[in-house]
């Protein structure tokens, strides 16, 4: 039971990190980034490659050296930086000409490119076998609870940064761009610059999500970063209320905790896959209901009222 | 001295020549009206000047510098802003927040500074806030400063559109139907506001408007008539009112 709870909280927390990425991109700035799994994978692979002890593997008749054995914290910071940097490059290519639903398709493609790189560039990623023996800090202490507490700390930190960002002059411009990009541009703001800032900043959280997940499980494979991950994270944010930083937590707890993990306790119905598959149907129905009856999500966007001295 | 100078501007959409070899000089400090029937190319001309469309041909100069081909935000920073026919108040932001977006050099727009909120950010924020509050007071929107823009009436949205543009310290404002959709009681304050800004802040205005009462009153000195993207007639309000050809274009040939 404790193992299950630890796993569930690890999922909720790391998916919430990625949720904050989607919230900054979509909730604040209106950029539909469906490449969540790609940034997650970038973070996971970056830290995995950096922190895993150097080992020799033979795959498809060739021998590779993978792993650099650097400290975990270095790997995690590098994961955030790499995700951010790649977002900047993708952003410079895409955001010049593409926003809206076209950006959604492009980022979806980007995530698939990352996944195929992970599958095919075996010299770097060990291909479909994935990387095992990733360091798992505190995994043997108190059944892994200390690591969950670290995740909670990081979650609060990311929440704090996101909330500061939302209420700052920068967040004001980003939210303005979401409301009407042409109006903001006509008022003298270089919207490409602000979109890039949003893209790169959010991606750092996506990278952190992947990195902390990799150090939790200790083993990653390309198939862990499929579109399902993107779907779960984006659903969580939309259910919680995009643009609302508390909504991200509530939405992730609802979708991941209640709908994705808790059904394990339901009595068996049909074959072993009935309930696990039905979960996605239930999440899908929830999304439809939210979009139809409560478009703003469980927690709608809050207005930012600027403090004024009484006059 | 002319502050805005458009020369032989052409803007086509496929086979349609929306703006067809149109030239216009705007004298500094004037309020000029631009009228014409629906589809004459008024809004397209505005959007082309603002940099939203790139002209196919022609030259546009603001204070002597060429601006065609620049992005809207670059043109805005050089002192020309266009307001929109359908008000583009930013949703989910308060009126005050709408006002506080335009000013340049906001330290808090830098990510690290935005998070740390140092003295520099706070001081600049205070300046921007005070400027916004005083403009809201002049524009008559002060009481609504903390409201979501979706709660504003059409007239108030139009007023915000103009007041928000003032946050960029513009030299030229292009107003696309500043009183469209407003009630009769709302129209007059908007007109007076434009005249006041013209006198007090020396802002040059180019105004598109379908309400003839408004345009004849506001732009007594000079009205330009645009038909099928081309310069059709020009004169004082009185001359345009007495011009039979202009009447014909608007109302069709009398029988």
- H/E element, B225: strand B222-227
Q: Which of residues 39 through 68 in chain B touch A, CB cutoff 8 A?
A: 50, 52
Measured between CB atoms, which of B82, B115, B128 is closest to A186? B82
Q: Is B105 on the interface with A (CB under 8 A)?
A: no
Report CB contact under 8 Å: B98, A176.
yes
Can you give the three-state secondary structure of B138-206, one letter per residue? HHCCHHHCCCEHHHCCHHHHHHHHHHHHHCCCCCEEEEECCCCCCCHHHHHHHHHHHHHHHHHCCCEEE
> Chain A residues contacting B, CB < 8 Å?
161, 164-165, 168-173, 175-176, 178-180, 182-191, 194, 197, 201, 243, 301, 303-306, 308
pLDDT tens column, B157-172: 999 999 999 999 999 9
Q: Show residues of chain A in contact with B94, CB under 8 Å.
A: 303-306
Task: Report the distance separating Cα B245 and Cα A40, nearest Å.
Answer: 67
Q: What is the pLDDT of residue A200?
A: 97
Structure tokens at A206: 């996506």
Task: Report the distance separating Cα A31 and Cα A202, nearest Å.
Answer: 11
Residues 6 or more apart whose CB falls under 8 angstroms from that of B135 comprise B99, B163, B166, B167
Question: Taking a C-beta distance cutoff of 8 angstroms, is the pair A286, A280 a contact?
Answer: no
CB atoms within 10 A of CB A138: 16
Structure tokens at A41: 């994978």
Q: Show residues of chain A in contact with B114, CB under 8 Å.
A: 164-165, 168-171
Distances (CA, A) of B93 to A179, A185, B127, B188: 9, 16, 19, 27
Task: Report the distance separating Cα A171 and Cα A175, nearest Å.
Answer: 6
- Return the residue of B nearest to A244 by Cα: B92
Measured between CB atoms, which of B76, B114, B121 is closest to A187? B76
Measured between CB atoms, which of A173, A201, A305 is closest to B109? A173
Q: What is the pLDDT of residue B77?
A: 97
pTM: 0.93
Q: What is the pLDDT of residue A255?
A: 94
Structure tokens at B2: 């002319």
Q: Show residues of chain A in contact with B109, CB under 8 Å.
A: 169-170, 173, 194
Measured between CB atoms, which of B82, B101, B125 is closest to A189? B101
Question: Taking a C-beta distance cutoff of 8 angstroms, is the pair B221, B236 a contact?
Answer: yes
pLDDT tens column, A77-129: 999 999 999 999 999 999 988 888 999 999 999 999 999 999 998 888 888 88
Q: Is B135 on the interface with A (CB under 8 A)?
A: no
- Return the residue of A nearest to B51 by Cα: A186
Chain-wide mean pLDDT for chain A?
Answer: 93
Phi, psi of B38 (to 5 degrees): -55, 135
Q: Is B129 on the interface with A (CB under 8 A)?
A: yes
Domain B27-88+153-161+169-255 has CATH 3.40.50.300: yes
Task: Report the distance separating Cα B75 and Cα B223, nearest Å.
Answer: 24
Closest to A36 measured CA to CA, from A175, A205, A223:
A205
Tokens 């196919």 label which residue? B56
Measured between CB atoms, which of A164, A176, A178 is closest to B114? A164
Structure tokens at B73: 């935000």
In chain B, where the domains are located:
27-88+153-161+169-255, 90-151
Q: What is the pLDDT of residue B254?
A: 56
Structure tokens at B31: 């309020």
CB atoms within 10 A of CB B191: 19
- H/E element, A158: helix A145-167
Which of A28, A306, A308, A310 to substitute to test the interface with B, most B CBs within 10 Å? A306
- Burial class (CB within 10 angstroms; exposed 0-12, middle 13-18, buried 19+) of B134: exposed
- Regions of chain B short of the pLDDT cut 70: 253-255
Question: Taking a C-beta distance cutoff of 8 angstroms, is the pair A228, A36 a contact?
Answer: no
Distances (CA, A) of B224 to B26, B177, B215: 11, 15, 11
Question: Taking a C-beta distance cutoff of 8 angstroms, is the pair B224, B32 a contact?
Answer: yes
CB atoms within 10 A of CB B197: 21
Tens-of-pLDDT digits for all 311 residues of chain A?
888 999 999 999 999 999 999 999 999 999 999 999 999 999 999 999 999 998 877 766 777 777 888 999 999 999 999 999 999 999 999 998 888 899 999 999 999 999 999 999 888 888 888 998 999 998 888 888 999 999 999 999 999 999 999 999 999 999 999 999 999 999 999 999 999 999 999 999 999 999 999 999 999 999 999 999 999 999 999 999 999 999 999 999 999 998 988 888 888 778 888 888 889 999 999 999 998 999 899 999 999 998 887 55
Give all strands of the β-sheet with B57-62 in edge-to-edge order: B16-27, B2-13, B57-62, B65-66
Tokens 């003032």 label which residue? B166
- Terminal CA-CA length for chain B: 44
- Could you tell me the sign of the dihedral formed by the alpha carbons of B170, B172, B178, B184, in that order? positive
Q: Show residues of chain B in contact with A164, CB under 8 Å.
A: 114-115, 117
Closest to A178 measured CA to CA, from A1, A293, A27:
A27
Measured between CB atoms, which of A173, A186, A301 is closest to B72? A186
Closest to B165 measured CA to CA, from B200, B126, B125, B194:
B194
Q: Is 0.90 exceeded by the ipTM?
A: yes
Question: Taking a C-beta distance cutoff of 8 angstroms, is the pair B189, B162 a contact?
Answer: no
Task: Report the distance separating Cα B215 and Cα B207, nearest Å.
Answer: 8
Tokens 């609802």 label which residue? A254
Interface contacts (A, B; CB < 8 Å): 117
Q: What is the pLDDT of residue A309?
A: 73
Question: Taking a C-beta distance cutoff of 8 angstroms, is the pair B72, A192 a contact?
Answer: no
Report CB contact under 8 Å: A186, B77.
no
Residues 6 or more apart whose CB falls under 8 angstroms from that of A300 comprise A241, A244, A247
Residues 6 or more apart whose CB falls under 8 angstroms from that of A134 comprise A47, A48, A51, A52, A214, A215, A217, A218, A219, A220
Give all strands of the β-sheet with B172-176 in edge-to-edge order: B80-82, B172-176, B204-208, B31-35, B222-227, B230-235
């Amino acid at each position: 039971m404790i193992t299950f709870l630890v796993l569930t909280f690890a999922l909720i927390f790391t998916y919430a990190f990625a949720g904050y990425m989607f919230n900054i991109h979509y909730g604040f700035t209106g950029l539909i980034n469906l490449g969540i799994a790609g940034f997650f994978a970038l973070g996971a692979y970056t830290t995995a490659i950096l922190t895993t002890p150097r080992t020799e593997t033979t795959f498809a008749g060739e021998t590779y050296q993978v792993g650099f054995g650097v400290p975990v914290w270095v790997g995690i910071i590098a994961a955030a930086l790499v995700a951010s940097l790649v977002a900047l490059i993708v952003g410079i290519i895409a955001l010049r000409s593409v926003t809206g639903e076209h950006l959604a398709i492009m980022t979806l493609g980007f995530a698939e490119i990352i996944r195929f790189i992970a599958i095919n560039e075996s010299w770097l990623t060990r291909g479909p076998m994935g990387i095992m023996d990733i360091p798992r800090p505190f995994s043997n202490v108190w059944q892994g609870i200390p690591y969950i507490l670290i995740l909670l700390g990081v979650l609060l930190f990311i929440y704090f940064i996101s909330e500061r960002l939302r209420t700052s002059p920068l967040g004001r411009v980003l939210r303005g761009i979401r409301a009407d990009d042409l109006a903001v541009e006509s008022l003298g703001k270089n919207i490409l610059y602000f979109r890039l800032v949003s893209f790169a900043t959010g991606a750092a959280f996506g990278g952190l999500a992947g990195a902390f997940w990799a150090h939790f499980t200790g083993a990653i494979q390309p198939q862990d970063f499929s579109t399902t991950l993107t779907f779960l994270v984006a659903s969580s944010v939309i259910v919680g209320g995009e643009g609302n930083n508390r909504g991200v937590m509530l939405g992730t707890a609802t979708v991941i905790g209640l709908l994705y993990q808790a059904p394990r306790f339901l009595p068996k119905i049909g074959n072993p896959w009935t309930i696990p598959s039905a979960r996605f149907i239930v999440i899908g129905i929830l999304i439809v209901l939210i979009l139809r009856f409560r478009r703003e999500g469980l927690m709608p966007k809050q207005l930012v009222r600027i403090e004024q001295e009484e006059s | 001295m002319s502050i805005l100078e458009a020369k032989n501007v052409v803007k086509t959409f496929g086979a349609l020549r929306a703006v067809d070899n149109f030239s216009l000089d705007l004298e500094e400090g004037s309020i000029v009206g631009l009228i014409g029937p629906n589809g004459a190319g008024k809004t397209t001309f505005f959007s082309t000047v603002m940099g939203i469309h790139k002209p196919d041909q022609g030259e546009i100069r603001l204070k002597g510098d060429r601006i065609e081909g620049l992005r809207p935000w670059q043109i805005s920073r050089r002192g020309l802003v266009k307001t929109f026919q359908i008000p583009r108040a930013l949703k989910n932001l308060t009126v005050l927040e709408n006002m506080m977006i335009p000013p340049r050099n906001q330290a808090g727009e830098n990510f690290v500074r935005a998070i740390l909120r140092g003295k520099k950010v706070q001081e600049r924020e205070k300046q921007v806030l005070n400027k916004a509050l005083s403009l809201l007071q002049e524009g008559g929107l002060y009481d609504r400063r903390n409201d979501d823009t979706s709660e504003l009436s059409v007239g108030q949205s139009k007023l915000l559109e103009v007041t928000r543009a003032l946050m960029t310290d513009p030299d030229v404002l292009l107003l696309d139907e500043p009183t469209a959709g407003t009630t009769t009681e709302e129209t007059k304050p908007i007109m007076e506001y434009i005249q006041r800004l013209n006198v007090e802040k020396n802002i040059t205005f180019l105004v598109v408007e379908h309400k003839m009462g408004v345009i004849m009153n506001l732009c007594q000195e000079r009205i330009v008539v645009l038909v099928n993207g081309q310069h059709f007639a020009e004169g004082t309000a009185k001359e345009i009112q007495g011009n039979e050809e202009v009447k014909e274009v608007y109302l069709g040939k009398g029988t």
